[in-house]
């Protein structure tokens, strides 16, 4: 169709040029008719060579006009050369003005037909006034590529860039104005903006939180473009844009994993993961499965959860998967499992971690978290397990809750056996990994907030000033796996968690990410109320990752730190365990609490002794523990 249109169109342009030149309806002679037909016969092969018939007209870009000008110019020059070679110029042949009129008319005709077809093909696309109006935060290459893609989108129109760079403010990029970010609240109502897309890798988590907070009063959706490293350069399309997630608002940038560390303690080995169906345990299972172990042993007491995680892991490869139904408190089961499968690496994720539930079920919480850890670490030591990694918590630092105290005991038990293994000349490495809250995990505040928002509120806080450290599930799993390669026996490794996040800010951000507004004194017509209900037993306003922030050293991974052991008042782990067993046998929760917190108050957080007073200690204490009210 294009070839036919060009053939007829170019002949018509030459004839019209004769009409204009002679100022009448022109009737060509035989020689002139031959040159009228020669015009398109020369032009069409040149157009084909230069790609004018390969373009998909629906997506024809304006820069195609330059190619059209080049093709028409070359064909016109050849046509004019033919006229001179045949001595056919002059009034009876081809007047010189005909060449100029032909060149100008051909450019207009060839470009006009193509862009007219493009307009017709896109005539079903909503008018600009009917499209969603979008602001793009960022003015770099990713933002420019995105805007080019959005310009071809049937339902969005970019009305402005937002930039923190004062040198770009007031400038135009792709014909679109760049605005200062401090004008955001003015631009949204004035331009009718319904969506803001973050399209820069330079926006920190804090900057994103500030952006979300400033948009909170407006019914706009916030979305984000993935990092350029995740996409093929120059291949940005609208479908890559995703909704901004709570992970994007963490108090720090994501911590990249070291592939070598991920493989060194997993690839080709037999791995046991306790609590394999839990939120953390299942994430560790997926991370380990990607590193291709020889065998993966899943220890879990939840039958349905174990069935589901086993089915999911079958998709990761052809390595052996062994589901073991049972609890870490079953010493005989733990011993048999470790020896039967010749386990080389253990990731101990099984624990009760709901602070309020463990506070109300002290005996079972202590039995599972302390004695379960003791069983697993003791039998791992006896079975010559090469790497044992305990998943601990920031609540183990100066704990006020039963859950936090049991986690601290678990750390001390692992350090005790790590020191004993090291002193005995064995190669096993027994260590702990301590980090803050994991977004989306069981017991995290995030799922609770999601449920409350879905129910229409209110979102409940325990205290306006409460803060917590947060990390993503993926980061937590990767940290746990890397710890086995980074640690020495008895180590406690910690992730540099960045800045703590106010829980109220988190709740507000989640409400806004749901497309709703916060109802408060400043916005009485908002959708969801944030309500303070008071702190529960065992809770603290803020958590800590270190006993002594100065007593840490770097590891090979730039974001993973090692707590330095320091000498202090010693306590014997076997004696502590014996007293705890006696307290548990009485069934008296007050007695169990007294033993649980009493040893920590006496210095159990400082040094560990097994059979001699020369064992290495733990971090130095800077405050006393207290029993919760």
Tell me the per-residue pLDDT of 404-426, one tens digit each, with 9 for 90 and over.
Answer: 899 999 988 988 888 887 776 67
Structure tokens, 213 = 């907070």
**How far is residue 98's CA from residue 585's CA, in Å, rounded to a whole number?**
110
Helix (H) or strand (E) holding 193: strand 193-198
Instruction: Determine the angle formed by the axes of helices 402-423 and 573-586, rounding to 10 degrees.
Output: 140
**How far is residue 163's CA from residue 138's CA, in Å, rounded to a whole number?**
5
Residue written as token pair 């989108």? 153
Structure tokens, 170 = 């007031």
Contact 437, 444 (CB under 8 A): yes
Query: Of 7-11, 207-211, 354-358, 446-450, which range is least confident?
Result: 207-211
- Show Cβ contacts of residue 564 under 8 Å, excluding neighbours closer than 6 positions: 551, 552, 553, 619
Contact 487, 429 (CB under 8 A): yes
pLDDT exceeding 90 applies to what percent of the chain?
Answer: 15
- Residue 116 exposed, middle or buried by CB count within 10 Å (0-12, 13-18, 19+): exposed
- Report pLDDT digits (tens) over 549-568: 666 777 777 777 787 665 44
Q: Which residues are bridge partners to 273 per DSSP?
A: 298, 347
**How far is residue 47's CA from residue 55's CA, in Å, rounded to a whole number?**
11
How big is the chain, counted in residues?
A: 629
Structural Rg of the chain based on CA atoms: 36
Matching fold, domains 128-244 and 259-609: yes
Query: Of 118-127, 309-318, 442-451, 517-526, which range is least confident?
Result: 118-127
Q: Which residues are bridge partners to 160 per DSSP?
A: 135
Contact 462, 507 (CB under 8 A): no
Segment 537-542 shows an average pLDDT of 70
Contact 209, 249 (CB under 8 A): yes
- Report in angstroms the alpha-carbon separations of 64 from 39, 119, 235: 22, 15, 20
Better-predicted residue by pLDDT, 610 or 66: 66
Q: Indicate the DSSP class of residue 556.
A: S
Query: Which pLDDT score is estimated for 229?
Result: 44
Instruction: Determine the angle formed by the axes of helices 30-49 and 64-85, rounding to 10 degrees.
Output: 140
| pLDDT tier for residue 272 given thresholds of 50, 70 and 90 | very high
Nearest Cα residue to 329 out of 297, 363, 304, 357: 363
Query: Which pLDDT score is estimated for 234?
Result: 42
The pairing of strands 221-224 and 193-198 is parallel
- Report pLDDT digits (tens) over 331-351: 999 999 999 999 999 999 999
Query: Which pLDDT score is estimated for 202?
Result: 61
- Report pLDDT digits (tens) over 464-503: 888 777 777 777 788 788 877 777 777 788 877 667 778 8
HEC readout, 84-105:
HHCCCECCCCECHHHHHHHHHH
Task: Give the CATH number of domain 128-244.
Answer: 3.40.50.720
Q: State the average pLDDT for the chain.
A: 78
Contact 442, 476 (CB under 8 A): no
Q: Where along the chain do its domains lie? A: 2-121, 128-244, 259-609
| pLDDT tier for residue 622 given thresholds of 50, 70 and 90 | very low
At the fourth CATH level, the homologous superfamily of domain 259-609 is: NAD(P)-binding Rossmann-like Domain (3.40.50.720)
Query: Which pLDDT score is estimated for 619?
Result: 41
- Report pLDDT digits (tens) over 356-408: 889 999 999 999 999 999 999 999 998 988 889 998 888 888 888 899 899 99
Helix (H) or strand (E) holding 305: helix 303-313
- Report pLDDT digits (tens) over 145-165: 788 777 766 677 888 888 888
**How far is residue 607's CA from residue 358's CA, in Å, rounded to a whole number?**
27
């Amino acid at each position: 169709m294009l070839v036919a249109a060009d053939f007829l169109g170019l002949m018509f342009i030459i004839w019209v040029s004769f009409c204009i030149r002679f100022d009448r309806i022109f009737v060509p002679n035989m020689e002139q008719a031959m040159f009228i037909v020669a015009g398109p016969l020369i032009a069409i092969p040149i157009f084909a060579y230069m790609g004018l018939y390969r373009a998909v007209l629906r997506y024809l870009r304006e820069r195609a006009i330059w190619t059209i000008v080049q093709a028409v110019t070359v064909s016109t020059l050849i046509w004019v050369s033919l006229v001179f070679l045949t001595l056919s110029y002059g009034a009876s042949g081809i007047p010189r003005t005909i060449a100029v009129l032909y060149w100008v008319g051909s450019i207009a005709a060839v470009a006009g037909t193509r862009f007219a077809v493009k307009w017709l093909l896109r005539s079903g696309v909503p008018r600009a006034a009917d499209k969603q109006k979008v602001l793009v935060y960022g003015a770099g290459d990713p933002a420019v590529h995105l805007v080019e893609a959005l310009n071809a989108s049937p339902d969005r129109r970019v009305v402005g860039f937002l930039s923190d760079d004062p040198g770009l403010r007031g400038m135009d990029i792709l014909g679109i104005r760049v605005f200062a970010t401090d004008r955001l609240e003015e631009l949204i109502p004035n331009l009718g903006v319904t969506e803001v897309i973050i399209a820069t890798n330079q926006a920190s988590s804090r900057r994103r939180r500030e952006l979300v907070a400033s948009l909170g009063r407006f019914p706009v959706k916030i979305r984000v473009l993935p990092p350029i490293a995740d996409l093929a350069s120059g291949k940005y399309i609208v479908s890559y844009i995703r909704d901004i997630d709570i992970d994007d608002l963490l108090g720090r940038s994501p911590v990249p994993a070291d592939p070598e560390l991920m493989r060194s303690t997993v690839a080709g080995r037999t791995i046991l993961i306790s609590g394999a169906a839990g939120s953390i345990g299942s994430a560790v299972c997926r991370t380990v499965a990607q590193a291709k172990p020889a065998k993966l042993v899943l220890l879990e007491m939840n039958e349905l959860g174990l069935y589901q995680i086993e089915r999911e892991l079958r998709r990761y490869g052809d390595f052996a998967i062994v589901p073991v139904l049972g609890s870490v408190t079953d010493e005989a089961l733990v011993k048999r499992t470790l020896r039967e499968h010749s386990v080389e690496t253990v990731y101990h994720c099984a624990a009760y971690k709901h602070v309020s539930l463990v506070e109300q079920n002290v005996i079972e919480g202590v039995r599972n978290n302390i004695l379960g850890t003791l069983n697993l670490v003791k039998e791992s030591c006896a079975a010559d397990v090469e790497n044992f990694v305990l998943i601990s918590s920031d609540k183990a630092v100066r704990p006020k809750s039963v859950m936090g105290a049991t986690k601290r005991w678990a750390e001390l038990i692992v350090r005790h056996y790590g020191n004993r293994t090291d002193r005995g000349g064995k190669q096993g490495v027994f260590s702990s990994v301590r980090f803050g809250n994991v977004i989306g995990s069981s017991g995290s505040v995030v799922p609770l907030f999601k449920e409350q928002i879905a129910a229409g509120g209110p979102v409940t806080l325990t205290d306006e000033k409460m803060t917590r450290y947060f990390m993503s599930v993926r980061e937590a799993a990767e940290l746990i796996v890397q710890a086995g390669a980074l640690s020495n026996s008895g180590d406690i490794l910690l992730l540099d968690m960045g800045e703590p996040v106010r829980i109220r800010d988190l709740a507000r951000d989640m409400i806004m990410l749901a497309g709703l507004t916060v109802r408060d004194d400043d916005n009485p017509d908002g959708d969801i109320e944030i309500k303070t209900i008071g702190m529960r037993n065992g809770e603290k306003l803020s958590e800590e990752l270190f006993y002594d922030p100065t007593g840490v050293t770097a590891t090979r991974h730039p974001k993973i730190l090692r707590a330095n052991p320091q000498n202090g008042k010693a306590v014997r782990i076997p004696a502590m365990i014996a007293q705890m067993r006696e307290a548990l046998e009485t069934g008296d929760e007050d007695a169990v609490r007294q033993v649980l917190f009493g040893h920590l108050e006496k210095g159990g957080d400082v040094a560990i002794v097994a059979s001699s007073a020369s064992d290495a200690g733990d971090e130095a204490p800077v405050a006393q523990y207290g029993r919760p009210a």
